[in-house]
C-alpha cells in the first residue's frame, strides 16, 4: 500500500487518481492547511472508489497509527508549505512544517521497514546562477526559505540513506506543474490571489480578475518575459508511478528532473490559453517580481535514460485542461 502525504493538494490529488487507475492501493493523509476536503468527494466520483484517508499533520506523532493500521510499502511525500514569497515572511513555519514532517515520516519508515520513498523536490533547489537547462548534478542553493527547505530535505534524505541503506529514494525535482485532470473534476484551487501564472491567467479568463500583471518585459528572453518549463500535472502524476516502479525494480535511489525540457514565456503561455479558452486575456507589463529569474527549464536527458519515460502532453493540452477545470469550477471546489 502506498502512503500519500499532502494527498488532497494539487499534485497529490492527481497522483492519487493516477495510482488508483493503475491498480495501486493508496492511503492519503493531509491536514487541509492548503486544500479542501471536497477533493475527496471528487476523487470518489471520478474513480468510483472510496478514498482511504486520514486528516493528520505529518509532523504529528499520531502518524504512527497509519503505519500500524496499513501495510505500507512506499511513501510519496507531497506534504509541504510551498509559497516562495510567504516563506520569506515566515521562515520558522516553513522550516518547521517541511523539515519536522519529513523527520517524523523517516523515523516511521525506519521502524516499519518501509524501503521506498518518493520525495517532492523542486527546480528551486538549483542555484539561480546555474546556466539553463538545469542538470541534476549542478550546484544547489536557493533564494528563499522554501527553496532551502527542499535543499535541506534532500540532504536529510541522503544522510538517512547512508545510515539506513535499505531505504531507496526518488528525488523528483518538479519544474512548473500546470493543467488539470482531463475530466475537469479536480484541478488547482489556490486560496486567495494566485501567486502562480497559470491559475492567475485562468481566473482572468473566467472573469474573476481584471487583467494579468506580467512581471517584467525586459528579461533577456525570446520576448522579454520570463521563461519556465511547464509540465502537465497528469504527466507529473505518471512520473511518480514510473519512479515507484523504478524503486521497486532497481532498488536504487534516483535524482531526476520532472519537466518537459522546453521553456515557454509568459506571453507564449498567455497566447496558448487565449486559443484554448476562446477568450481575450487582458494584461499589463509591470515591474519584475523580486527573486524571479529570466529562465528556468530542465535538461531531461537523465530522466529519459533512467526512467525510460517522457512527458506526453503539450502546452495547448495544459491550457485546454486548465480551462476545462476553471470554467466548470469558477470558484474551485466550492463551486
Which residues here bind ligand UDP, judged by CB under 6 A? Answer: 176, 195-197, 200, 212-215, 226, 228, 266, 289, 292, 296
Select 17 or 266, whichever has its Cβ closest to ligand UDP. Answer: 266
Select 8 or 225, whichever has its Cβ closest to ligand UDP. Answer: 225
Report which of 120, 117, 55 is spatially closest to residue 81, judged by C-alpha positions: 120
Judged by CB under 6 A, does residue 51 bind ligand NAD?
Answer: no
Helix (H) or strand (E) holding 2: strand 2-5
Judged by CB under 6 A, does residue 32 bind ligand NAD?
Answer: yes
| Rounded-to-integer distance, Cα 1 and Cα 58, Å | 17
| Rounded-to-integer distance, Cα 121 and Cα 102, Å | 12
Closest distance to ligand UDP from the beta carbon of 213 (Å)? 5
**104 close to 3: Cβ distance less than 8 angstroms:** no
Q: Scanning residues 65 to 94, which ones bind ligand NAD (CB under 6 A)?
A: 78-82
What does 311 bind: ligand NAD, ligand UDP, none (CB cut-off 5 to 8 Å by kind)? none
Closest distance to ligand NAD from the beta carbon of 146 (Å)? 7
Judged by CB under 6 A, does residue 59 bind ligand NAD?
Answer: yes
What does 6 bind: ligand UDP, ligand NAD, none (CB cut-off 5 to 8 Å by kind)? ligand NAD
- Under the phi-then-psi rule, with left for phi > 0, alpha for psi from -120 to 50, and beta for the rest, what region is 113? left
When binding is defined by CB under 6 A, the residue of 18, 26, 30, 240 that contacts ligand NAD is 30
Task: Please give the backbone phi and psi of residue 204, each rounded to the nearest 5 degrees, phi first.
Answer: -70, -45
**101 close to 80: Cβ distance less than 8 angstroms:** yes
Q: Scan for cell 525586459, then name that residue.
A: 218
Judged by CB under 6 A, does residue 116 bind ligand NAD?
Answer: no
Three-state secondary structure call for residue 235: helix
> How far from 289 is each of 94, 122, 219, 226, 285, CA to CA, in Å?
21, 19, 11, 10, 11
- Contacts with ligand NAD: how many residues (CB under 6 A)? 28
When binding is defined by CB under 6 A, the residue of 2, 3, 12, 260 that contacts ligand NAD is 12
When binding is defined by CB under 6 A, the residue of 104, 122, 225, 326 that contacts ligand NAD is 122
What is the number of alpha carbons within 13 Å of residue 47 lying toward its C-beta?
26
**143 close to 127: Cβ distance less than 8 angstroms:** no
- Quote the DSSP letter at residue 222: S
Closest distance to ligand NAD from the beta carbon of 131 (Å)? 20
Closest distance to ligand UDP from the beta carbon of 288 (Å)? 7
Q: Scanning residues 143 to 202, which ones bind ligand NAD (CB under 6 A)?
A: 174, 176-177
Closest distance to ligand NAD from the beta carbon of 172 (Å)? 8
Report which of 42, 258, 92, 299 is spatially closest to residue 170, judged by C-alpha positions: 258
Closest distance to ligand NAD from the beta carbon of 151 (Å)? 12
Select 4 or 227, whichever has its Cβ closest to ligand UDP. Answer: 227
Quick one: cell of 62?
499520531
What does 255 bind: ligand NAD, ligand UDP, none (CB cut-off 5 to 8 Å by kind)? none
Q: Scan for cell 528532473, then name that residue.
A: 257
246 is catalytic: no
User: 94, 146, 200, 230: which one is catalytic?
Assistant: 146
When binding is defined by CB under 6 A, the residue of 9, 145, 147, 239 that contacts ligand NAD is 9
| Rounded-to-integer distance, Cα 147 and Cα 99, Å | 12
| Rounded-to-integer distance, Cα 83 and Cα 73, Å | 30
Interface residue list for ligand NAD (CB under 6 A): 5-6, 8-12, 30-35, 57-59, 78-82, 97, 101, 120, 122, 174, 176-177
Residues assigned a catalytic role: 146
Amino acid at each position: 500500500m502506498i502512503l500519500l502525504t499532502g494527498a488532497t493538494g494539487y499534485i497529490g490529488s492527481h497522483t492519487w487518481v493516477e495510482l488508483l487507475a493503475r491498480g495501486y492501493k493508496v492511503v492519503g493523509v493531509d491536514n487541509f492547511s492548503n486544500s479542501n476536503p471536497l477533493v475527496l468527494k471528487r476523487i470518489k466520483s471520478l474513480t468510483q472508489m472510496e478514498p482511504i484517508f486520514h486528516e493528520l499533520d505529518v509532523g504529528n506523532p499520531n502518524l504512527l497509527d497509519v503505519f500500524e493500521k496499513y501495510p505500507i510499502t512506499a511513501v510519496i511525500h507531497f506534504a509541504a508549505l510551498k509559497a516562495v514569497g510567504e516563506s520569506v515572511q515566515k521562515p520558522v513555519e516553513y522550516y518547521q512544517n517541511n523539515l519536522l514532517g519529513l523527520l517524523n515520516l523517516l523515523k516511521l519508515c525506519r521502524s516499519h521497514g518501509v524501503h521506498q520513498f518518493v520525495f517532492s523536490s523542486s527546480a528551486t533547489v538549483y542555484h539561480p546562477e546555474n546556466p539553463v537547462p538545469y542538470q541534476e548534478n549542478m550546484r544547489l542553493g536557493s533564494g528563499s526559505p522554501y527553496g532551502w527547505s527542499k535543499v535541506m530535505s534532500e540532504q536529510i534524505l541522503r544522510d538517512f540513506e547512508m545510515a539506513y541503506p535499505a531505504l531507496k529514494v526518488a528525488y523528483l525535482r518538479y519544474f512548473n506543474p500546470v493543467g488539470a485532470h482531463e475530466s475537469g473534476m479536480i484541478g488547482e484551487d489556490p486560496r486567495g490571489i494566485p501567486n502562480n501564472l497559470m491559475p492567475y491567467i485562468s481566473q482572468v479568463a473566467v472573469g474573476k480578475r481584471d487583467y494579468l500583471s506580467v512581471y517584467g518585459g525586459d528579461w533577456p528572453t525570446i520576448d522579454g518575459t520570463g521563461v519556465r518549463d511547464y509540465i502537465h500535472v497528469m504527466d507529473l502524476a505518471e512520473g511518480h508511478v514510473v519512479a515507484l516502479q523504478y524503486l521497486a525494480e532497481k532498488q536504487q535511489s534516483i535524482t531526476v528532473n520532472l519537466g518537459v525540457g522546453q521553456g515557454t514565456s509568459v506571453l507564449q503561455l498567455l497566447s496558448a490559453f487565449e486559443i484554448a479558452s476562446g477568450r481575450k486575456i487582458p494584461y499589463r507589463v509591470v515591474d519584475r517580481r523580486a527573486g524571479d529569474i529570466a529562465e528556468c527549464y530542465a535538461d531531461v536527458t537523465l530522466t529519459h535514460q533512467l526512467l525510460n519515460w517522457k512527458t506526453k502532453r503539450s502546452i495547448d493540452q495544459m491550457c485546454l485542461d486548465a480551462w476545462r477545470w476553471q470554467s466548470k469550477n469558477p470558484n474551485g471546489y466550492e463551486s
